[in-house]
Chains A and B, each alone.
Chain A
């Protein structure tokens, strides 16, 4: 049941527990309990929403930064990754296989702000040996949701 709850919440985190219970044919109490456990176990980390940033005025800029990192004996990439993740400017931070080690996404108000964050903060972190910054020009899809066009799917409003 927990798996199904997670998949429903990923689709629409505004479903209330009663609605989830109706969909899963169980009781509100069971859903309350399962979600409380998912939260307590740190499986559900936050409830958020997907925004098409282009449609709001202060959309800022997003950059993908590939970092090469010299792993530390005993702690590997953890220490650097933790340090990077602690910056509020950092939206996500992942360890990659392949040529670069960490992929960091950074959001800022302007190119300049992001550039100086990369040069002044990220590049300076001990263990970071190189950075390669790529600015995102357009987002087409986010977390499985298309950001393209509008809802009209060609079906019209009513048909028999």
Chain B
């Protein structure tokens, strides 16, 4: 008989499974659940994009593309980035098209991390940075961000986390799960801490289109950060294209070159149909994106007001599509809160602790849902809170 356990690599074994697997299993199998739990848009991919994909299939564009992606797409990405951030990336060697932002993050970390190198990761944040760092033999250095600071990385916390071995800083803004964004001034301060160091920045800007009130600022726009920043972005959230699996990395030539080398061996190239569709997304969907952002904004205001009315304090999220209210007043842990809410009122939220220890005391509510759906979920949460009090 095979002893599979001993066959699983030590690294794979040591990577902790997501702590809330159990909660997810219950939520996904219970009947009649109304969810604010998912991290992907409810909007469909705009039809122009879908038909561009279909046209490419009809034209039999079903072969591998260049390793770094269709040149046309890289050119469009370069133009889009120039338009949005005012930054130039050369489509020939500073742009790499990947399988989602996820692959871009993975390949970037693998391309720069040697065993023992430290990666600074602010939390609460998206769950992939820590395991990806470990897979590359790196050491995650978790920095807890606090609600008082708007869940942003402060210069002093960053300074305290830097050591001889620090190689990479992850800047996950706009943030899943907190909705925090960093302003130009705040990024400037981060830049001042990193000035004259040899530390790279991985800036996960997958939610860059989804900011409210002011346009997104990339760390790469800050002079002291430009040369050290790898921008990760993609089509999943901005264009409602999660299943197309398409993202990209932008950065200094030597780094992109190294990432491309790994990508070439591991992946060959990103999905061809998706690449054709994405060209259309960048060419003709500004209006669609604006409409979706307006709709998210209405939902955002409704949900933030809803939580505040219910007495769950909720810092205004300025980006992404999540609210992150505090549930500390209930005295429950975030997982207890979510589990009891699920059983009592069949509403699914995600415990803040899923996004790192710093997320304890909070819950993530996604507003990728209609106003009607959000209202009903809030109503049920209200009933649950009443129950807790009595």
A residues whose Cβ falls under 8 Å from a Cβ of B? 8, 11-12, 14-15, 18-19, 22-23, 25, 153, 155-160
- B155 interface residue (CB < 8 Å to A): no
- B54 interface residue (CB < 8 Å to A): no
Given A12-B371, A14-B375, CB of A157 within 8 Å of CB of B301 = no
- B24 interface residue (CB < 8 Å to A): yes
Given A14-B372, A14-B375, CB of A157 within 8 Å of CB of B305 = no
For chain B, the count of residues having a C-beta within 8 Å of the partner chain is 29
The total of interchain contacts (Cβ-Cβ below 8 angstroms) comes to 61
The secondary structure that dominates the A interface is: loop
Chain A neighbourhood of B40, CB < 8 A: 155, 159
B360-378, CB < 8 A from A: 370-372, 375
Task: List 10 A–B pairs whose Cβ atoms lie within 8 Å, in order of A's numbering.
Answer: A12-B370, A14-B372, A15-B302, A15-B375, A23-B302, A25-B301, A155-B40, A157-B28, A158-B350, A160-B350
Once the chains bind, are A8 and B372 in contact (CB under 8 Å)? no
Once the chains bind, are B350 and A22 in contact (CB under 8 Å)? no
CA distance A157 to B39 in the complex (A): 10
Once the chains bind, are B305 and A22 in contact (CB under 8 Å)? yes
- B251 interface residue (CB < 8 Å to A): no
- From the candidates B27, B42, B305, name the one contacting A19 in the complex (CB within 8 A): B305
Given A22-B302, A23-B298, A23-B302, CB of A157 within 8 Å of CB of B375 = no
Chain A neighbourhood of B217, CB < 8 A: none
Central interface residue in B27, B33, B42, B371, by most chain A CB within 10 Å: B371
Q: A9 to chain B: closest CB distance in Å?
A: 11
Once the chains bind, are B302 and A156 in contact (CB under 8 Å)? no
Once the chains bind, are B126 and A19 in contact (CB under 8 Å)? no
Once the chains bind, are A157 and B298 in contact (CB under 8 Å)? no
- B127 interface residue (CB < 8 Å to A): yes
- From the candidates A8, A15, A153, A158, name the one contacting B28 in the complex (CB within 8 A): A158
Once the chains bind, are A158 and B27 in contact (CB under 8 Å)? yes
- From the candidates A11, A12, A157, name the one contacting B37 in the complex (CB within 8 A): A157
CB-based nearest B residue for A19:
B302
